[in-house]
């Protein structure tokens, strides 16, 4: 009897809780500015090119939803949600599907969601960006990541966000660092806030981006639930929710900005620029020496008992685990005739039964140096990065001690503590190095082997630091491919399915 009563009272308690929740979802949340407008969509169809032919995907398109309660500018701080409901004639239930969060940022510029809202799931950014737009090379016949994800049954969320170019009517900049990552975190919180209301599984958010967008994807993945952003998130009225993500895909991430100049000199210091001249060799040597110190301090263990990766053995590490496998995949995929032709045009590569072999210096000479010195925190402050670290009233600032000293002539100058914190808040490596608990578990890292926008050590350090923390990393270079390449987009979508459970 007691048991029955107990069960009865538990039942009524459960009932009351359910009613409360239902009330909250209906009437109780109607005043919630961050409630997903689940009935406000248009039905659209799009043609998606897959290796199995074209698919007609019918979607619910939810446009331009503000994801914070107090936006600085809602044109930017809004997102699109695209939910597949039919692929060809087969119905799709995306209620619990993985969510692909497409970061359309390029060059650390803003993404205007009011403008991109009509443009489909490309999510802004420069046209043709590999991660979100159409892939290059052999995969050029395929649609981009977002459309392929929809065809596979995933929900796609494309947030706008502030960027270094944003300027208000009064002339003040409002998108300097860390605005973009604060906005992207707010978008993740919006998705979590709408668990059960918005289609898709908030436990399976996979971010993707290219270049600066790839760096933001890495940062979103690495910095989950860090308290460093709380004040900024509160200011814009972000939902009070978990902002960690499940997986992060980073295409040619321009990250680790505070060490990128050093890394660039390590890789390209002795390589002439496009005009044929060498950069200042003394300054290059100083930066290269700083890289050796930085790399040693990272204390990263290479694969298969390689030992600690240092500036001295890094060329060997890149060759063994990234460059040679990339060249081999490419060369083995060619017909004998085409391979012979390629090798004749590239005598710096030797080809035997064991595959390709070449010297690192020949590889860097072939790729060529793209940027000047310093490559990122440049003295003219014309690169995107000094602009990223500007303030409301200063368009650009030096963000490394090295460039500040060069520019000011003061050999002891240091960037101030406030800026140092902002630089950390923009660097995925900062959070991985500290073992941040909210770091994503799964990582998809891709870069062209001929991409000279940053040193190849940047993506390799990202991969190794994650591997050393027990994360699941799928990293690869595309042979001969440049900036923004995405040559295996269907493998990426299949990987999302494999790590998430069936889509
Ligand atoms: C991008 C490219 C760069 O070379 C850089 O320094 C920053 C961003 C980009 O393509 O997004």
pLDDT in tens, 271-286: 999 899 999 999 999 9
Q: How many domains does the chain have?
A: 1
C-alpha angle with apex 378: 390 to 479, nearest 5 degrees?
110
**Where is 443: in which H helix or E strand?**
strand 442-448
> Cα separation of 300 and 311, whole Å?
11
Question: Closest ligand 1 atom, CA of 483?
Answer: 10
The separation between CA 397 and the C-alpha centre of its own chain, rounded to angstroms, equals: 24
Measured in Å, residue 137 CA sits from the centre of ligand 1 at 21
Question: Closest ligand 1 atom, CA of 106?
Answer: 11
- Would you say residue 79 lies in a domain? no
> Cα separation of 94 and 377, whole Å?
44
Measured in Å, residue 254 CA sits from the centre of ligand 1 at 6
> Cα separation of 439 and 471, whole Å?
9
3-state DSSP percent of the chain in helix, strand and coil, to 5: 40, 15, 45
Mean pLDDT, range 490-500, rounded to an integer: 98
Tell me, yes or no, if the pTM score tops 0.75. yes
Cα dihedral: 274, 345, 451, 261 (round 10) = -50
Going from the C-alpha of 363 to that of each of 327, 349, 451, 454, the distances in angstroms are 11, 9, 12, 15
pLDDT of residue 31: 92
The DSSP result for 38-94, as a single string, is: TT--EEEEEEEEETTEEEEEEEEEEEEEE-SSS-S-TTTSEEEEEEEEEETTEE---
Model confidence at 16, pLDDT cuts 50, 70, 90, reads very low
Query: What is the extent of the structural domain holding 161?
Result: 10-49+99-256+432-500
Residues 6+ away with beta carbon under 8 Å from 275: none
Residue with tokens 């692929």: 87
Model confidence at 138, pLDDT cuts 50, 70, 90, reads low
Q: Give me the residues paired with residue 80 across strands.
A: 158
- Would you say residue 80 lies in a domain? no
Model confidence at 121, pLDDT cuts 50, 70, 90, reads very low
Model confidence at 502, pLDDT cuts 50, 70, 90, reads low
Q: Give me the residues paired with residue 474 across strands.
A: 444
Measured in Å, residue 482 CA sits from the centre of ligand 1 at 12
Question: Closest ligand 1 atom, CA of 371?
Answer: 4
CATH number at residue 493: 3.40.50.1820
Number of residues in the chain: 503
pLDDT beyond 80 at 118:
no
The total of other beta-carbon atoms located within 10 Å of residue 43's CB is 10
- Report the first-to-last Cα separation within the chain, whole angstroms: 46
- Would you say residue 298 lies in a domain? no
Ligand 1 mutation pick, 108, 261, 375, 399, max ligand atoms within 8 A of CB: 108
- Would you say residue 226 lies in a domain? yes
Quote the strand ranges of 204-310, DSSP E: 205-210, 247-251
pLDDT of residue 115: 77
Residues 6+ away with beta carbon under 8 Å from 121: 80, 82, 102, 132, 146, 147, 150, 156, 158
pLDDT of residue 28: 56
Ligand 1 mutation pick, 106, 453, 458, 486, max ligand atoms within 8 A of CB: 453
Least confident among 19-33, 400-414, 421-435, 467-481: 19-33
pLDDT of residue 135: 55
pLDDT tens track for 68-89: 999 999 999 999 999 999 999 9
pLDDT tens track for 184-202: 999 999 999 999 999 999 9
Model confidence at 503, pLDDT cuts 50, 70, 90, reads low
pLDDT beyond 60 at 17:
no
Spatial contact of 82 and 60, defined as CB atoms under 8 Å apart: yes
pLDDT of residue 137: 58
pLDDT beyond 70 at 500:
yes
Cα dihedral: 350, 302, 222, 150 (round 10) = 40
- Would you say residue 307 lies in a domain? no
Closest residue CA from atom 8 of ligand 1: 107
- Would you say residue 64 lies in a domain? no
pLDDT beyond 50 at 129:
no
pLDDT of residue 29: 76
pLDDT of residue 284: 98
SS3 328: helix
What's the mean per-residue pLDDT of the chain? Answer: 92
> Cα separation of 76 and 70, whole Å?
12
pLDDT beyond 70 at 265:
yes
CB-based pocket (< 6 A), ligand 1: 106-108, 211-212, 254, 376, 383-385, 453
- Would you say residue 452 lies in a domain? yes
* Exposure string for 155-186, b = 16+ CB within 10 A, e = fewer: bbbbbbbbbbebeeeeeebbbbbbbbbbbbbb
Least confident among 27-36, 314-323, 366-375, 424-433: 27-36
- Cis peptide, bond prior to residue 178, ω within 30 of zero: yes
pLDDT beyond 90 at 2:
no
> Cα separation of 371 and 382, whole Å?
11
Closest residue CA from atom 1 of ligand 1: 107
**Where is 135: in which H helix or E strand?**
none
> Cα separation of 448 and 326, whole Å?
10
Nearest by Cα to 239 from 201, 205, 178, 188: 188
> Cα separation of 479 and 342, whole Å?
12
SS3 357: strand
- Would you say residue 319 lies in a domain? no
Quick one: what percent of the chain has pLDDT higher than 70?
89
């Amino acid at each position: 009897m007691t048991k029955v009563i107990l069960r009865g009272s538990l039942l009524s308690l459960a009932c009351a809780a359910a009613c409360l929740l239902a009330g909250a979802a209906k009437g109780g949340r109607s005043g919630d500015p961050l409630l997903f407008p689940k009935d406000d969509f248009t039905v659209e169809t799009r043609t998606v090119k897959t290796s199995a032919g074209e698919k007609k995907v019918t979607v619910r398109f939810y446009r331009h939803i503000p994801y914070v309660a107090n936006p600085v500018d809602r044109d930017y701080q809004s997102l699109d949600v695209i939910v597949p409901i039919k692929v060809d004639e087969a119905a799709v239930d995306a209620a619990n599907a993985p969510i692909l969060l497409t970061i359309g940022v390029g060059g650390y510029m803003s993404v205007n969601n009011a403008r991109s809202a009509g443009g489909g799931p490309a999510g802004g950014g420069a046209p043709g960006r590999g991660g979100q737009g159409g892939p290059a090379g052999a995969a050029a016949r395929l649609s981009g990541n977002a459309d392929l994800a929809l065809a596979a049954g995933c929900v796609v969320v494309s947030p706008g966000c502030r960027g270094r170019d944003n300027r208000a009517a009064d002339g003040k900049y409002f998108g300097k660092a860390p605005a973009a990552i604060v906005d992207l975190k707010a978008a993740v919180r919006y998705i979590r806030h709408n668990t059960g209301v918005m289609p898709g599984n908030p436990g399976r958010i996979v971010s993707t981006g290219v270049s600066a967008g790839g760096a933001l994807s890495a940062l979103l993945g690495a910095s989950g639930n860090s308290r460093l952003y709380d004040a900024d998130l509160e200011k814009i009225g972000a939902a009070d929710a978990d902002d960690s993500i499940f997986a992060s895909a980073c295409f040619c991430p321009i990250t680790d900005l505070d060490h990128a100049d050093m890394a660039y000199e390590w890789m390209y210091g002795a390589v002439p620029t496009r005009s044929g001249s060498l950069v200042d060799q003394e300054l290059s040597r100083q930066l290269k020496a700083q890289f050796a110190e930085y790399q040693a301090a990272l204390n990263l263990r290479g694969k298969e008992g390689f030992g600690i990766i240092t500036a001295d053995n890094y060329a060997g590490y890149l060759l063994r685990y990234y460059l040679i496998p990339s060249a081999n995949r490419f060369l083995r995929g060619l017909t004998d005739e085409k391979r012979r032709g390629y090798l004749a045009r590239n005598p710096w590569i030797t080809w035997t039964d064991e595959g390709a072999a070449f010297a690192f210096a020949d590889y860097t000479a072939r790729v060529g140096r793209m940027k000047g010195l310093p490559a990122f925190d440049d003295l003219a402050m014309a690169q995107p990065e000094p602009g990223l670290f500007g303030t409301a009233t200063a368009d650009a600032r030096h963000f490394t001690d090295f460039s500040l000293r060069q520019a000011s002539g003061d050999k002891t100058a240091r960037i101030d503590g406030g800026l140092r914190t902002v630089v950390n808040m923009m660097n995925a490596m900062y959070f991985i190095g500290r073992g941040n608990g909210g770091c994503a578990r799964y990582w998809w890292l891709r870069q062209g082997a001929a991409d000279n926008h940053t040193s190849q050590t940047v993506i390799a350090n990202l991969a190794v630091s994650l591997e050393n923390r027990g994360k699941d990393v799928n990293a690869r270079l595309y042979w001969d491919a440049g900036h923004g390449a995405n040559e295996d987009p269907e493998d990426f979508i299949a990987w999302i399915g494999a790590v998430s459970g069936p889509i």
